[in-house]
Amino acid sequence: MKELFAKRWFRVAVGLLAFLSMYALASYQRRTGPTWPIAVDESLAGSAVSGELIRTQAGEGDARVSLGVADQEIQGEVVWRPYPTNEEWGRLEMVREDSAEGSELVAYLPHQPMAAKLEYSVRLFKGSEELALPHGETSIIRYREAVPAWVLIPHILVMFVTLWIVFRAALGALLGEIGVRRFIPWILGLLLFGGFFLGPLVQKYAFDAWWTGWPFGGDWTDNKTLAALIAWLMAWWVCRYRPQLQRLAVLLATVVMVVVYLIPHSIHGSELDWEEVETQSSTSP
**Interior angle at CA 62, CA 141 and CA 50, nearest 5:** 60
| Amino acid at site 131 | L
Pairing of strands 117-126, 75-83: antiparallel
User: Tens place of pLDDT for every residue, the chain, 285 residues?
Assistant: 667 777 888 889 999 999 999 999 989 888 888 889 999 999 998 999 999 999 999 988 899 999 999 999 999 999 999 999 999 999 999 999 988 778 999 999 999 999 899 999 999 999 889 999 998 889 999 999 999 999 999 999 999 999 999 999 999 999 989 999 999 999 999 999 999 999 999 999 998 888 877 777 777 788 899 999 999 999 999 999 999 999 999 999 999 999 988 887 766 667 777 776 654 444 445
Structural domains of the chain in order of their starting residue, each with its CATH number = 2-31+147-275 (no CATH), 38-144 (2.60.40.10)
Sheet holding 63-69, edge to edge: 38-44, 47-53, 63-69, 102-109, 95-99
CA dist 246 → 3, 77, 136, 232 (Å): 19, 59, 50, 12
What pTM did the predictor assign?
Answer: 0.86
- Residue 106 is given by DSSP the state E
Pairing of strands 102-109, 63-69: antiparallel
